[in-house]
Structure 1
Amino acid sequence: MKNKILVTGATGGLGSLVINLLKEKTDVENLTVLVRDETNELTKLYNNDGIEIRIGDYGNTESLAKAFKGIDVLYFVSGGDDNQRAQLHKNVVDAATKASVKHILYTSAVWKDESASSPLAALVDSHKQTEKFIKASGITYTILRHNLYAEVIEMLIGDKRQLLKTKTIYLPTANGLSSFVPKKDLAEAEVNILLNPSAYANKILEFNGSKQITFLEIAQKISEIIKEPIQYVSPGLNEFEAQMDKFGLPKNIIEILSTFSLAIAQGEFDHQSDDLETVLGRKTKSLDDFLKETYG
């Protein structure tokens, strides 16, 4: 008898990739998605594919407990609200416990600095709390600590049109290394785990890209791809924020750019492990190829 799998975050980038891969590898009768909005276009597509739709919200424990009934394996995608994340995640774990879910896969994050002064302090604390909630629940777990998505690169430096205009990557990331991972690689590995969860029972896996890279190297690679010289400038944080404010970026966007840039500069994403390669059975997609697809 196959496990009944429920995927949260099913209308997001990672969750939708997971669902599409699962459709290729198991019967749709084994799949369930959790969504907040029945009218979402992806939700309609899932419904047309015969995938069971369940409505729930991390902020509503009662809706979650109902949605998790009969579920064997829960793919738990972390929420996006730093301030409320820990409580929302506790709701998910409490509901999973109440519904007798057998196995939780949780998308956590990598970190090094656990102090309150870390630029990632709020993010790290919420993930640490969630991991504790899951372990304390008694539910079998697999914790998946993700490095930065490769897709974040474009968010941080702009798309091809913007780079052709500015000819500059302007970001206070210094010489910090990151082990960027394309979402497709994460999705493929995590589908492998979802289809054979017992092999990863009560394990913490660190999912990093096979190679590390700096933004100076990214600038050099993009220069080759678009055949235009792209310079890399790493200003001080105050100067960066002042310039972004001058350009009219919203304060919350400036805060996100600053937070992740500073974390990169301080080596928070400078991690090496072969966990992801082991689960995939291969190296992760090269950043050269990823950048060619993104900026070519």
Structure 2
Amino acid sequence: MILITGATGNYGKATIDFLLKKGISANNISALVRDVTKAADLKAKGINLKIGNYDNYTSLLEAFKNVDKLLLVSGNDIVNRGSQQENAVKAAKEAGIKYIIYTSFERKNESETSPLAFFTKPDIDTENQIKASGMTYTILKNNFYLDSLPTFFGEQVLETGIFLPAGESKSAFALRNDMAEATANILTSEGHGNKEYSFSNTENISLQEIAQNLSEIAGKQVNYVSPSQALYAETLTAASVPAEYVKMFAGFAEAVKQGEFTSENTDLEKILGRKPKSAKEFLKELYTSK
């Protein structure tokens, strides 16, 4: 039995779909959900629904019974996900799960000086807890999702351009769906025990190059401006963006600037068996219809 956490989220749902495409029967796949009403599509596919909450240890123990492989998708509760994921790892160990895959995060700077320390520390802690548990594991160090870039660009990016204090560094952003497909490949094959994989793209691209791609797609100039952190925060605050989002966006931009997402080596192409979708291909698909 394979159990997927975060199953109503994009990564979890995509992984389940790829498992089904690979011929894994629905009755051999379980989905951890907090609210069954949000998982009607999974139920319709015949997926076993397990009710569980990261904050409720007993519910996790019950949900993890008779599970052979667990995909622990990192949580999205920025404040509490460290303790939540610790609960999940402990419950998996106590429930007798033999193999755990964890979707962690690509990074270079693991110290408190990292602009993303508030985000990456729970990942580092969870990785260490998994390794200390004695369970066989695979750690996936996922680069930043290509799919998430439009959130940072804004809905009117083709008109207003890109405004981010990210400098000129290049990053190997990759598509979430490609990572999910590779994750399904790992869940359905052997030889991945006690390994760590980098899920990054095969190319590194700067935001200036992305702006050039958008210019080609739009048939007009799309500019990239890299302001100071202070001006960026001031501009977002004036636009009534909540303070926690200003911090997150600014931290992401600074991480890009410092080269945190640059990658010269990636395992994604090898595990996919093909090249991952490029940023240019993704942007063309997304913005051509706009």
**TM-score, with structure 1 as normaliser:** 0.95
Secondary structure in structure 1 of the residue aligned to 2:77: coil
User: 1:187: which partner in 2?
Assistant: 180
**How many angstroms apart in 1 are the aligned matches of 2:275 and 2:127?**
27
User: 1:246: which partner in 2?
Assistant: 238
**How many angstroms apart in 2 are the aligned matches of 1:266 and 1:253?**
20
Identical aligned residues as a percent: 41
Match of 2:261 among 244, 269, 275: 269
User: 1:118: which partner in 2?
Assistant: 114
Q: Give unpaired runs (5+ residues) of structure 2.
A: none
**TM-score, with structure 2 as normaliser:** 0.96
**How many angstroms apart in 2 are the aligned matches of 1:84 and 1:247?**
28
Match of 2:4 among 7, 15, 35: 7
Match of 1:236 among 224, 228, 234: 228
Report if the CA contact (8 A) 1:225-1:292 is conserved.
Answer: yes
| CA positional deviation for 1:82 | 2.9
| CA displacement, residues 82-109 of structure 1 (integer Å, 9 cap, x when unaligned) | 3322211110011101110110000001
| CA positional deviation for 1:164 | 3.4
Report if the CA contact (8 A) 1:6-1:75 is conserved.
Answer: yes
User: 2:136: which partner in 1?
Assistant: 140
1:29 matched to 2:31? The reply is: no
Greater displacement, 19-28 / 218-227: 19-28
- Equivalent runs, 1:11-90 vs 2, <5 Å: 11-25=8-22, 26-40=24-38, 43-90=39-86
AA aligned to 2:211 is A
| CA positional deviation for 1:199 | 1.1
Report if the CA contact (8 A) 1:207-1:273 is conserved.
Answer: no
- Equivalent runs, 1:143-292 vs 2, <5 Å: 143-159=139-155, 162-166=156-160, 168-196=161-189, 198-292=190-284
| CA positional deviation for 1:224 | 0.4
Secondary structure in structure 1 of the residue aligned to 2:205: coil
| CA displacement, residues 236-256 of structure 1 (integer Å, 9 cap, x when unaligned) | 000111011112212122111
| CA positional deviation for 1:23 | 1.4
Quote the RMSD (CA, aligned, Å): 1.0
**How many angstroms apart in 1 are the aligned matches of 2:186 and 2:110?**
28
Q: How many residues align?
A: 287
Secondary structure in structure 1 of the residue aligned to 2:162: strand
Secondary structure in structure 1 of the residue aligned to 2:12: helix
**How many angstroms apart in 1 are the aligned matches of 2:67 and 2:272?**
25
**How many angstroms apart in 2 are the aligned matches of 1:19 and 1:170?**
36
**How many angstroms apart in 2 are the aligned matches of 1:48 and 1:123?**
35
**How many angstroms apart in 1 are the aligned matches of 2:53 and 2:277?**
33
**How many angstroms apart in 1 are the aligned matches of 2:171 and 2:6?**
25
| CA displacement, residues 259-282 of structure 1 (integer Å, 9 cap, x when unaligned) | 100110011111121311110111
AA aligned to 2:19 is L
Secondary structure in structure 1 of the residue aligned to 2:167: coil
User: 2:88: which partner in 1?
Assistant: 92
Greater displacement, 249-258 / 138-147: 249-258
Secondary structure in structure 2 of the residue aligned to 1:39: helix
Q: Give unpaired runs (5+ residues) of structure 1.
A: none
Report if the CA contact (8 A) 2:174-2:278 is conserved.
Answer: no
**How many angstroms apart in 2 are the aligned matches of 1:102 and 1:115?**
31
User: 1:104: which partner in 2?
Assistant: 100
1:295 matched to 2:287? The reply is: yes
| CA positional deviation for 1:80 | 1.5
**How many angstroms apart in 2 are the aligned matches of 1:222 and 1:204?**
34
